[in-house]
Every structure is written in structure tokens, then in C-alpha cells.
Amino acid sequence: TLRKYGVASDVRDGVLFPYYDAFGNLGMTKHWGHKLKADGKKDTWVSAEPVISIFGKDVCDPETGLQRLVICEGEWDAMACWQAGIPAVSIPMGASNMNWITEDYQYLSHFDEIVLLFDNDEPGKKGAKEASARLGTERCLTVRLPLKDANDMLRAGRGAEILKCIESTTREPMAEIADPESMKETVRSYM
């Protein structure tokens, strides 16, 4: 999985995540230190002059016929999905930063369906709602996992449930458009 996503060690003995721009050039590297900072927060930093784009685009190449894109809130979550057999990408800077949509708009336009698999917490829910509105609610499916995120699911031995959650999630109804699935019983009754 690390090889597939190009994850490596960095010069400070941390973990390096490569991010590529719209042209396939390295646009940013994100680094995770192995230890927490003095304030108890994660020790992360990015390269100078970063291009804010999606992590793992080369894993989810639309040229391969992939029609559904799974977008996670973190790199570890995207890789956890891959471990569970689901190709996935990650947003770069947390659920409140939506700059990746502008940078990767052309890439995102290749997919018929976008699954938003953000963290099951308030920032994740808010970020998924904003991303869905910007990407088009008609093609977005917001999925909630029983645990906080895909990485927690995989670590708890529940990786197989991730796909089940995606497959069992239904779309939010749109006021102007009726979902044919919701009319099935009414049509049967009428006939």
C-alpha cells in the first residue's frame, strides 16, 4: 500500500506523502513526524509553495475506467480503504479547506459518482456537506462509518464493512428530482 501511494521516509525520519498537481508533477509533500509536538498535536508540515491537490490521484486514475471516486479526509484513511479493496484518494488539509476542489476540478469531472467518506465527527460532516454542494449533490454520496474513519475501521478489523457502508448508503433526496427507488412500491401498487 505504501508503494502504491508513493509514501516514503523523509529526511527527518518522518513519513512523506507525495501530492501531484493537475499535470502529474509533484506539487506538494506532506510530512508527518513520529512524535507528537509539545502541545500534544500531530507534528505535520508541508513543502514550500504547495499546490493544494488530492492525495492518491495516480491510484484512482479515471483512464482505467474507474467511475466512482472515494474521497477520504486523511491519507491514512485512503490507504486503509485500499487495504480493504477500495481505491481511494484523500483531501490534503482537513475538512475545512476546500482549495483542492479548484485545483483538481478537471480530474474530479471524470467521475460519475463521488463518495465522500469524511470523518464521522462534526468537522467531517460539515466538510462533506460543503464538498457535496460544490461538487454537485446529484453525483455525491456522503457515507458515515460506525467508527470515526476508515483507518479506525481497518485497525478494528472491520475493513470489510467499509464497502458495505458505501453500498448501503442512499442519496439524500432532492426536492426537484424523485428517486425511482423510492417510487417502486407505489408503481407496483398502481399496476
Model confidence pLDDT, tens digit, residues 93-107: 888 889 899 999 999
Residue 139: what pLDDT? 93
Residue 11: what pLDDT? 77
Residue 59: what pLDDT? 92
- CA nearest to 112, candidates 85, 91, 141, 90: 141
Pairwise CA distance, residues 33 & 41, whole Å: 11
Tell me the three cell numbers of residue 93: 488539509
Tell me the average pLDDT of the chain.
90
Secondary structure element (H or E) that encloses residue 130, with its range: helix 122-135
Percent helix, strand, coil in the chain (nearest 5)?
A: 35, 20, 50
**pTM as predicted:** 0.86
Residue 90 has pLDDT above 60, yes or no: yes
Pairwise CA distance, residues 113 & 94, whole Å: 21
Residue 127 has pLDDT above 80, yes or no: yes
- CA–chain centroid gap for 96, Å, is 13
Pairwise CA distance, residues 128 & 122, whole Å: 10
Phi/psi of residue 30, nearest 5 degrees: -110, 135
Confidence of residue 111 (pLDDT cuts 50, 70, 90): very high
* CB-count burial class (<10 Å; 0-12, 13-18, 19+) for 17: buried
pLDDT, one tens digit per residue, over 155-171 is: 999 999 999 999 999 87
Mean pLDDT of 110-115: 94
Place of cell 480493504: 84
Place of cell 491510484: 59
